[in-house]
Structure formats: C-alpha cells, structure tokens
Amino acid sequence: MSWPLMIVLVAGSYGLKAVGVSSLGGRVERRLGPAVTLLPAALFAALIVIMTFEDAGALTLDARAAGVAAAAVAVWRKAPLVLVVAVAMAVTAGVRALT
C-alpha cells in the first residue's frame, strides 16, 4: 500500500468521524458505523506492516520483523503493553547485535 493511499484512507476515516458529529451523523452512522469503528485500527495495523516489512519499495525481512514477531507473541500471551514494547525492543536489538 502506498503512502498517498494511506493518507487518503486516514483522511477519509477521520472525515467520516467528523460527519458523525454533524447533522448527517444519524444516517451515516447507521450504514457505516461498524466499518468506521474498525477503520482506525486497521489503518494502524497497515502502517505497522509497511514500516516493518517495506524498504525502498521492496519486501525486507530484518531485525524489525523479528521484533514485531516477538511483540505479537507477547500480545498473544496477554502481556502488559510496556512489556510488549520492551520485548520488541530487546529482540530487535539482539538481532541487530548478532548481524
């Protein structure tokens, strides 16, 4: 996914949130409510994927991928957020130190 497309999706997501506050909110929310609720989380996940696995337009598997994988395991094990971030940082630093 390209950066301009991400910017358009983010602007659209928050634009729909702004419409929800206006007088059109009732009609729009009935039709798009569930999608608008989930859209920011999906965009954040897409941003993490792009920042982790993309470098100069090519797929890259490096220390960042190992850190995200370790963080995913920590989240799956229901670790607190601070611990998830610490695990991701430690694994990323460890892989960078080894390579």
pLDDT for 31-57, tens place per residue?
A: 777 776 777 788 888 888 888 888 777
Residues in the chain: 99
Cβ-contact 58, 74 below 8 angstroms: no
* 33 vs 71 pLDDT, higher one: 71
The pTM is what? 0.59
Q: Phi/psi zone of residue 57: left (φ > 0), alpha (ψ -120 to 50 degrees), beta?
A: left
24 pLDDT band, cuts 50/70/90, is: low
